[in-house]
């Protein structure tokens, strides 16, 4: 998939970071590429890595939202990425208060 | 018998402070716990009436003895059972509505075993006495069980019916894994209703549905595997659908993503509602929310 490779100027992780940051005004945002753990996974054969990520995000916008809603907000922000080969994201989505309470 | 009246050394935690303890224990025991009752003691056993000296040195590991333990009625729902009984290892005795002991067992997870029994024979599982066993290795658990059995036999002269050899009521293994559901009769059969509608029916007609990658007996992705593991640990009756099955679930992946507005798999539905994927299921399992959702 050379053509796609050429288009990827920024790494997917960086693009995800920018998109999540602007969509959710995150006060904490950690993105970890764990694609290597899933190499050889049937569904990702042929794509050039950057398929699986762990995302930890703290945002005031999660306030009052159910877990499903929070995850949807993250997925919505990353819709384009999900259509272009991002396969799975493990999401920890918390509000600033929830992390403070810990 | 002298052995049975020994003073207690280890006192089981009271039910009142259980809520704090349970959260620790859930994580501590979860990977190893078997919520199904241990079958090892059901077949035959020998009384220890002659080996008093040995029994009295070991009985210290047991919790309270049977007659001193409090009788707890079994609540009507799995969620309440999980709230009322500890998920610790220990010995337990199940009483029927006449107040007769039906079965004495040991387990890695008292609440789990009570729930399993209650599901399989609710009419025989009316109330339960239990004793948490500290340092619950097999020896200590077995000793605790022996002491309760001996005490029961001494008082009643009978072996609890469920402990007689050949009685499989209490030790039944969990039912064989169900087959995965198929959404269509095959990819070459023209559907008369849209796939979306089939999904809608499926999730509304079944309480719990997991859309996973691979079959439930051999999930092909780590997240799907975790989901199957959690659902089985909860002991919930669920249906599974393999989204990778191109023959019988052709087109399901794309249609389901749109239907549920959720871009990844696995996906878990309860009462027709998407509750989320692996992350959400895991966190709800840990907080106990999931058990609450299933009990309804």
Contact A50, A31 (CB under 8 A): no
Q: B260: alpha, beta or left, given left = phi > 0 and alpha = psi -120 to 50?
A: alpha
Are B200 and B290 contained in the same domain? Answer: yes
Task: Decide if the complex's ipTM is over 0.95.
Answer: no
Would you place residue B120 in the very low, low, confident or very high pLDDT band (cuts 50, 70, 90)?
confident
Query: What is the rounded distance in angstroms from the CA atom of residue A54 to the CA atom of residue A74?
Result: 12
Is B285 in contact with B292 (CB distance < 8 Å)? no
- Contact between B280 and B293 under an 8 Å Cβ cutoff? The reply is no
Identity of the residue in A41, A87, A91 whose CB atom sits nearest the CB atom of B279: A91
* Whether B223 and A41 lie within 8 Å, measured CB to CB: no
The pLDDT of residue B274 is above 70: yes
pLDDT digits (tens, 9 = 90+) for B94-110: 999 999 999 999 998 89
Q: Do B277 and A87 touch (CB under 8 A)?
A: no
Looking at the partner chain, which of B261, B264, B283 has a beta carbon nearest the beta carbon of A67? Answer: B283
Whether B85 maps to a domain, the answer reads yes
Q: Which residue has the tokens 């099955």?
A: B245
Whether B264 has its CB under 8 Å from any CB of chain A: the answer is: yes
Are the Cβ atoms of A42 and B264 closer than 8 angstroms? no
In a domain? residue B6 = no
Any idea which of B2-16, B92-106, B184-198, B238-252 has the lowest mean pLDDT? Answer: B2-16
Residue A28 has a pLDDT of 94
Give me the domains of chain A, ranges plus CATH numbers. Answer: 12-39+51-97 (3.30.300.90)
Query: Is A8 a residue whose pLDDT tops 80?
Result: no
Of A17-26, A65-74, B80-89, B260-269, the poorest mean pLDDT is in B80-89
What's the whole-number mean pLDDT along residues B134-156? 91
Q: Is residue B53 part of a domain?
A: no
C-beta of residue B148 within 8 angstroms of C-beta of residue B91: yes
Q: Which residues of chain A from 50 to 89 reach within 8 Å of chain B, CB to CB?
A: 67-68, 71-72, 75, 79, 82, 87-89
**Could you tell me which residue, B223 or B26, shows the higher pLDDT?**
B223
pLDDT, one tens digit per residue, over A29-49 is 999 998 887 766 655 555 567
Higher per-residue confidence, B143 vs B23? B143
Confidence of residue A50 (pLDDT cuts 50, 70, 90): confident
B52 versus B224: which is more confidently predicted? B224
Looking at residue B43, its pLDDT comes to 39
Measured between beta carbons, the chain B residues lying within 8 angstroms of A75 are 262-264
Residue A82 and residue B278: Cβ atoms within 8 Å? Answer: no
Rg of chain B over Cα atoms, rounded to whole angstroms, equals 23
> Which residue range forms the structural domain that includes residue B109?
71-163
| Cβ-defined contact of A68 to B244 (cutoff 8 Å) | no
pLDDT at B162: 92
Interchain pair A68, B220: CB under 8 A:
no
- The burial of B6, by beta-carbon neighbours within 10 Å (0-12 exposed, 13-18 middle, 19 or more buried), is given as middle
Question: pLDDT tens digits, residue range B193-240?
Answer: 999 999 999 999 999 999 999 999 888 888 999 999 999 888 889 999
Enumerate the residues of chain A whose CB falls inside 8 A of the CB of residue B212. none
Contact across the interface for A67 and B284, Cβ inside 8 Å = yes
Torsion (CA) A6, A12, A15, A19 in degrees, nearest 10: 140
B172: confidence class by pLDDT, cuts 50, 70, 90: low
Distance (Å) from the C-alpha of residue B198 to the closest C-alpha of chain A?
23
- Comparing CB atoms, the residue among A67, A75, A90 nearest residue B262 is A75
DSSP A49: S
A88 chain-B contacts, CB cut-off 8 A: 223, 264
Residue B221 lies in a domain: yes
Of A38, A67, A79, the CB nearest to B280: A67
Split into its structural domains, chain B has a count of: 2
Let me know if residue B51 belongs to a domain. no
Q: Which of B163, B182, B214 is the last residue of a domain?
A: B163
Q: Are residues B209 and B289 in the same domain?
A: yes
> Is B278 contained in some domain?
yes
pLDDT at B21 (0 to 100): 36
Final residue belonging to a domain, choices B140, B163, B186: B163
d(CA B91, CA A61): 48
Domain membership flag for residue B65: no
How far is CA B137 from its chain centroid?
A: 19
Nearest to B239 by CA among B178, B175, B285, B290: B178
Among A29-38, B18-27, B34-43, B201-210, the least confident range? B18-27
Torsion of CA B204, B206, B211, B214, to 10 degrees: -150
Residues B219 and B285 in one domain: yes
Task: Tell whether B201 and B289 lie within a shared domain.
Answer: yes
- Of B243, B239, B242, nearest to B270 by C-alpha is B239
Give me the pLDDT at residue B59, please. 45
Looking at residue B146, which CATH number applies to its domain?
3.40.1440.10
- The residue out of B148, B163, B178 marking a domain boundary is B163
Provide the mean pLDDT of chain B.
Answer: 79
B237 lies in some domain: yes
> How much is the mean pLDDT over chain A?
84
Model pLDDT, residue A44: 56
Cα of B226 to nearest chain A Cα, Å: 13
CB contact under 8 A, B280 and A71: yes
Same domain membership, residue B158 and residue B221: no
Residue B19 is predicted with a pLDDT of 33
Report the alpha-carbon distance of residue A86 to residue B19 in Å, rounded: 41
Which of the given ranges, B40-54, B173-187, B218-232, has the highest pLDDT on average? B218-232
Residue numbers of B between 186 and 205 with CB closer than 8 Å to A: none
For residue B261, name the pLDDT band (cuts at 50, 70, 90): very high
Chain B hits for A71, Cβ within 8 Å: 262, 276-277, 279-280
pLDDT band at B124 (very low <50, low <70, confident <90, very high): very high
Residue A76 has pLDDT above 70, yes or no: yes
CATH number at residue B288: 3.40.30.10
Q: Percentages helix, strand, coil for chain A, rounded to the nearest 5?
A: 50, 20, 30
B196 and B203 in contact (C-beta within 8 Å)?
Answer: no
* Shared domain check, B158 and B202: no
Inter-chain touch B274–A89, beta carbons under 8 Å: no
């Amino acid at each position: 998939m050379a053509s796609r490779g050429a288009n990827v100027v920024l790494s997917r992780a960086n693009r995800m970071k920018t998109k999540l940051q602007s969509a959710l005004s995150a006060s904490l945002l950690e993105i970890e590429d764990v694609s290597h753990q899933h190499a050889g996974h049937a569904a990702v054969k042929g794509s050039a890595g950057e398929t699986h990520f762990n995302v930890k995000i703290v945002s005031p916008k999660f306030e009052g939202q159910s877990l499903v809603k929070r995850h949807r907000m993250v997925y919505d922000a990353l819709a384009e990425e999900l259509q272009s080969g991002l396969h799975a994201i493990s999401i920890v989505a918390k509000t600033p208060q929830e992390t403070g309470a810990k | 018998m002298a052995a049975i009246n020994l003073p207690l050394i280890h006192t089981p935690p009271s039910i009142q402070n259980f809520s704090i303890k349970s959260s620790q224990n859930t994580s501590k025991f979860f990977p190893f716990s078997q919520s199904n009752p241990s079958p090892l003691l059901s077949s035959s056993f020998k009384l220890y009436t002659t080996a008093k000296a040995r029994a009295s040195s070991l009985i210290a590991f047991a919790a309270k003895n049977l007659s001193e333990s409090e009788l707890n009625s079994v609540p009507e729902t799995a969620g309440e059972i999980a709230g009322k009984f500890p998920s610790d290892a220990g010995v337990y005795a199940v009483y029927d509505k006449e107040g007769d002991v039906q079965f004495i067992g040991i387990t890695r997870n008292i609440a789990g075993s009570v729930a399993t029994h209650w599901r399989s024979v609710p009419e025989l599982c009316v109330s339960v006495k239990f004793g948490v066993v500290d340092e619950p290795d097999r020896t200590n658990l077995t000793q605790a069980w022996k002491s309760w059995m001996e005490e029961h036999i001494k008082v009643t002269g009978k072996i609890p019916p469920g402990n007689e050899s050949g009685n499989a009521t209490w030790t039944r293994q969990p039912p064989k894994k169900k087959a995965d559901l198929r959404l269509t009769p095959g990819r070459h059969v023209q559907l008369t209703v849209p796939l979306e509608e089939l999904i809608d029916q499926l999730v509304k007609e079944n309480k719990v549905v997991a859309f996973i990658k691979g079959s439930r007996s051999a999930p092909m992705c780590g997240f799907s595997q975790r989901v199957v593991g959690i659902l089985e640990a909860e002991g919930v009756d669920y249906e599974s659908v393999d989204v990778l099955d191109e023959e019988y679930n052709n087109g399901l992946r794309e249609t389901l993503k749109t239907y549920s507005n959720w871009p990844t798999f696995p996906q878990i539905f309860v009462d027709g509602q998407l509750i989320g994927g692996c992350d959400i299921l895991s966190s709800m399992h840990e907080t106990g929310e999931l058990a609450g959702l299933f009990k309804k």
